[in-house]
Amino acid sequence: MCFRRARRNFWLTSVLKIRVLKLRFALFYGVLLLSLSACQSQTVTPQWRWQRAETGLPRQAIVTSVAVDPADPRQLWAGIYGPASLVTSHDGGHTWQTGAAGLDDNPVFDLLVTSEATSSSGSSVWAATRDGLLQSRDAGASWLPASGDVPRVTAFALATDAGGRLYVGFDGAGIYAASQDRAGWLSLRPQSARLAGGDSLAVAEIVAPAAVISLAVSPDGQQLYAGTPGQGIFASCDAGQTWQITYMGEYVPNIVLNPLRPTVAIASLRNRLVRTRDGGQSWHTLPLAWTKDEIVSLLWLADGTLGAGTGQGRLFRSLDHGDTWLEGGDGLPPGGGVLDLAAVEGSSPGEPPQLLAGTWTGIFGSYNGGVSWSQLALDLGQPHAQTLLATDTGLMLGARTGLYLWQPASRHWTPLPANLPSGVASLAAHPQDNRLLYAGTQGHGVFQSTDAGDRWSPLPTLTAGIPAVAVDPKNSEHIYILAAWERVYESFDGGQNWNARWDGLGKIIEATALAVDPLEPIAYVGTEAGLFRSDDGQEWTLTAPTLADQSILALYSRPGPAETAAETVLYIGTTRGVYRSLDHGETVQGYHQGSDEWGRGLENRSVTVILTEPSNADLLYAGTAYAGVYQSIDRGQTWQPIGMTDLASGVVAAMAWGPGQELFVVTTAGVWRGERLN
């Protein structure tokens, strides 16, 4: 616009005398330069240089699934939630190779091997992935979508019967099974389905369109069990013709059956184990104290041993169908989360491990039936950093392997000699005393340090995973935390005693973000169903009603800039952009709210972290899911990307300023250090 206006003035002056023309041209030229300069100053793109900042951090992988070739126990596969997607070992886990054509960065949720006469290796490897069911006929070197009329939607669960028939659980498409001649696929659309103790239901109402996230099939293919993310357990005794539905409304991530007695099965319902002895007609809860740890993996071996792995990295085994349990798992990472278990049939001492475990921090193998474990593929994956904290004494990083301090001179991380368990998920400092620190762990509750992180002591009561900690700026004894799967707790005595703060949040709403107002006795909780606020210890109430249909991923509250006329400003990151509130969440400003264009440039981005510049509140930064980092130079009105190429390969989990005013960014794909160039 500035240039067009100046050009129009130039052509109008061209009809005047030559001397006037020269004068006007000189004036035009000066004005043009000033105008262009003003335009450029308004639209200049911030320039940043980004480098990886991971030296000194151990590399580990989130292993979502493990599999073994029944015909060759030295042939192993592991699915990775990350850029590698899949790794393969041809020597029983001693060495591992990455690279699988056709998988790219497609997350692998389950793996299974079947015998195939047409395969060059004699087996086919199947992968349940985000992009559907994939098949490899060359031991995992290359992958193609499964042939035939199989749904092209996300696949979550795989199972097979004694005849090698493959069963697949899909997202929103129910269960499919390969035809006996492998020529096609059959949808297991039952003739009827019945709720436990209830009436028969039309199959289209529940079973056929269900999302199936866990699956177990008997050797003869007659007994089937399926777990869903909210519709309970499906059980069939007639190969899927009719179904019994139990625990309607429950999340069922794992199901296994006794290979010797398929009518006996165990399922995990997030915080408890349930068992059936009659093929799913009736179920009962197993009275186990340790199931307060979320059960994230189950395995029933051919010899009758039942194994259960927890989200806190603990492993239990039972020899009597789950009545009594022994704890093992020595060598597994504390707080590491045992995500999958697999048996290596036919192995012996000196050969491949008898059991494999996929965890949050890598692949582990056991040579003595699960009593003790050792890590395989030590150099696989990413550093798995999770949180950052900038204090007067330096920049700290919490990772699944511990706590680290940034060394500016040598540009590397050194482990702090802290008596903290592995798995530091969150860090917080008291705003007025940076020597008073809190660390939330992945399965051991909250720890406190009064000497800037040199020594730590556990706070009593809670042993859950703690993804967020917030401290009242006016009272260091007043602490809020998010407890994994359990929502909000509050302490008024420095963490010695904790009170559950769930009133007003409902029964199933999961909390995802936490913040405390810096000036008022107000706390905020972001949830999967909008923003909630608590005034001076009262119950939570839904605020910012226009955001009630979004998940709140990030909250950041700070004193407001003078021009806003607000004492504090609350920044809100959601699944569809960034918003701000100048009235403690009563109303919000955002690009999707009518004609208000605050937040333009981040619309339809999932905003996971929000940060301001320490010395200039006008400069804002936003981390996103798979879209990198954005900067605003006009108090959030508009946003521009400053880190897209590499940072966009993961979800931004944390951001903080380093000692040299570099911007450190932790993502699910690594750790980065950014330097401003203009």
Q: Is residue 7 domain-resident?
A: yes
- β-partners of residue 108 are 129
HSE of 577 in the Cβ direction (CA atoms, 13 Å)?
A: 23
CB atoms within 10 A of CB 563: 8
Q: Is 409 a domain residue?
A: no
Closest by CA position to 414, among listed 394, 434, 430? 394
Residue with tokens 């056709």: 102
pTM of the complete model? 0.69
Closest CA to 109 of 139, 154, 69, 147: 154
Is 658 a residue whose pLDDT tops 90? yes
From residue 326, alpha-carbon distances to 119, 264, 312, 329, 374 in Å are 41, 20, 16, 10, 19
Domain boundary among 348, 363, 381: 381
Q: Determine what percent of the chain is predicted with pLDDT higher than 90.
A: 50
Mean pLDDT calculated for residue range 148-171: 93
Q: Are 604 and 613 in contact (CB under 8 A)?
A: no
Give the mean pLDDT of the chain.
Answer: 84
Rounded Cα gap, residues 645 and 384, in angstroms: 20
Point out the domain boundary residue: 361, 381, 401.
381
Is a pLDDT exceeding 70 seen at residue 1? no
Give every strand in the sheet of 385-391, ordered side by side.
Answer: 385-391, 394-399, 402-407, 412-415
Strand order, beta sheet including 374-376: 338-343, 355-359, 362-366, 374-376
Q: Which of 362, 381, 400 is the last residue of a domain?
A: 381
pLDDT score at 643 = 82
Does residue 450 belong to any structural domain of this protein? no
Give residue-wise pLDDT tens across range 535-546.
988 899 999 998
> How many degrees, rounded to 5, is the angle at CA 411 between CA 405 and CA 415?
25
pLDDT digits (tens, 9 = 90+) for 214-227: 999 999 999 999 99
Residue 196 has pLDDT above 80, yes or no: no
Identify whether 115 is part of a domain.
Answer: no
636 vs 292, higher pLDDT:
636
Percent of the chain with pLDDT over 70: 85
| 613 assigned to some structural domain | no
SS (H, E, C) 41-107: HHHCCCCEEEEECCCCCCCECCEEEEEEECCEEEEEEEEECCCCCEEEECCCCCCCEECCECCCCCC
- The verdict on residue 660 lying in a domain is no
Question: What is the pLDDT averaged over residues 654-664?
Answer: 95
pLDDT value at 390 more than 50: yes
Residue 401's pLDDT band, with cuts at 50, 70 and 90, is confident
Look at residue 366 and tell me whether its pLDDT is greater than 50: yes
Assign 207 a pLDDT band (cuts: 50, 70, 90): confident
- Report the DSSP pairing between strands 629-632 and 394-399: unpaired
Q: What is the mean pLDDT of residues 330-355?
A: 77
Residue 253 has pLDDT above 50, yes or no: yes
pLDDT digits 0-9 by tens, 268-283: 987 789 999 999 999 9
Whats the size of the chain, residue-wise?
678
Residue 616: partners with Cβ closer than 8 Å, 6 or more residues away: none
Query: Rg (Cα) of the chain, in Å, rounded?
Result: 28
pLDDT tens-digit map of 67-86: 999 888 889 999 988 767 89
Taking the C-alpha atoms of 252, 258, 259 and 263 in order, what is their torsion angle to the nearest 10 degrees? -90
Identify whether 37 is part of a domain: yes
Domain that holds residue 15: 2-43
Window from 199-203, 282-286, 295-299 with minimum mean pLDDT: 199-203
Domains: count for the chain: 2
Give the DSSP letter of residue 377.
-
370 falls within a domain: yes
